[in-house]
Amino acid sequence: MKLIIVYDNEAKNGLKPDWGFSCLVEDTKKILFDTGADSEILLYNMKKLNINLEDIDIVVLSHNHWDHTGGLDGFLKANKNKAKVIWPDKKESFKIIKGIYSTGALGIFIKEQSLFLKTKKGLIVLVGCSHPGVDKILNSVKKYGKIYGIIGGFHGFSKLEKLKDIELIAPCHCTQFKEEIKEKYPETYKEIKVGSIIEI
């Protein structure tokens, strides 16, 4: 399983940064999690990363905010509408494909779904902005197995002790306390930006 960050506030050389988030999950199928804010930037980064848009089977949107859905229309045109789009409209956890699941829509005011991926090392949790709270998302996932890693936007999450048993901590996008997380967990913290690749 491979995860490629294709949209984020920070980017590696030759790629474009922008406020928003998108991550491509490559497994038995290719799943695009969120689409960033701008389709031109999204498509530019994907082209630079040699990603064939027409190979993407599914788009999962974490929540209905512009910085996660803004690139959707442009992506679907480039993808020739081949991809199935999954919005956060189900309350219960459900399978997307074998080994990849949605938490279902969590939260009260902002409904947001996250993904959890079954790997040999444990579960990887992929989050958009974590509006429901990182701790609540982790609690909803941990009943399915040991959590190995969490990747994505942590928003204003400050209960950093809740991350202590996680072996891969990769905050990006809207994470308010990124430097504090890096300082507290230097051995498990991983810097994330457009072009980052995580292989499990």
**Domain boundaries, given as residue ranges, for the chain:** 2-199
Query: What is the rounded average pLDDT of the residues 103-116?
Result: 97
**Given the structure tokens 């993808």, which residue do they identify?**
79
Average pLDDT over residues 10-29: 98
For the stretch 151-187, pLDDT in tens is: 999 999 999 999 999 999 999 999 999 999 999 999 9
Residue 97 pLDDT: 98
Residue range 56-83, pLDDT digits in tens: 999 999 999 999 999 999 999 999 999 9
pLDDT of residue 190: 97
Which residues on adjacent β-strands are paired with residue 115? 102, 126
CA-atom Rg of the chain in angstroms: 15
Q: Report how far residue 132's alpha carbon sits from residue 196's, in angstroms, rounded to the nearest whole number.
A: 25
Percent of the chain with pLDDT over 90: 100
Which tokens in the block code for residue 141?
A: 């996932």
CA distances from 87 to 41, 61, 83, 154 (A): 22, 5, 13, 20
Tell me the fold of 2-199. Answer: Metallo-beta-lactamase; Chain A (3.60.15)
Mean pLDDT of 91-114: 97
The string over 84-112, giving b where at least 16 C-beta atoms fall within 10 Å of a residue's C-beta and e elsewhere, is eebebeeeebeebeeebbbbbbbbeeebb
Confidence of residue 141 (pLDDT cuts 50, 70, 90): very high
Helix (H) or strand (E) run with residue 178 in it:
helix 178-184
78 is written with which tokens?
A: 């480039």
What is the pLDDT at residue 46? 98
pLDDT value of residue 61? 98
Count CA within 13 A, CB hemisphere, residue 83.
30
Q: What is the mean pLDDT of residues 43-63?
A: 97
Residue closest to 30 by CA, chosen among 64, 2, 8: 2
Whole-angstrom Cα distance, residue 41 to residue 169?
26
**According to the model, what pLDDT value does residue 111 have?**
97
Q: Residue 193: what pLDDT?
A: 98
- Token duo for residue 170: 């990769």
Instruction: Give the pLDDT band (50/70/90) at residue 132.
Output: very high
State the pTM of this model: 0.97
Cα gap 66→34, rounded to integer Å: 10
- pLDDT, tens digit, for every residue of 185-200? 999 999 999 999 999 8
Q: What's the CA gap between 113 and 131, in Å, rounded?
A: 10
User: What confidence tier does 107 reach under pLDDT thresholds 50, 70, 90?
Assistant: very high
pLDDT at 188: 98
Please list, in sequence order, all residues whose beta carbon lies within 8 angstroms of the beta carbon of residue 59, skipping any fewer than 6 positions away: 31, 32, 33, 35, 72, 75, 76, 83, 84, 85, 86
Mean pLDDT rounded to a whole number for the chain: 97
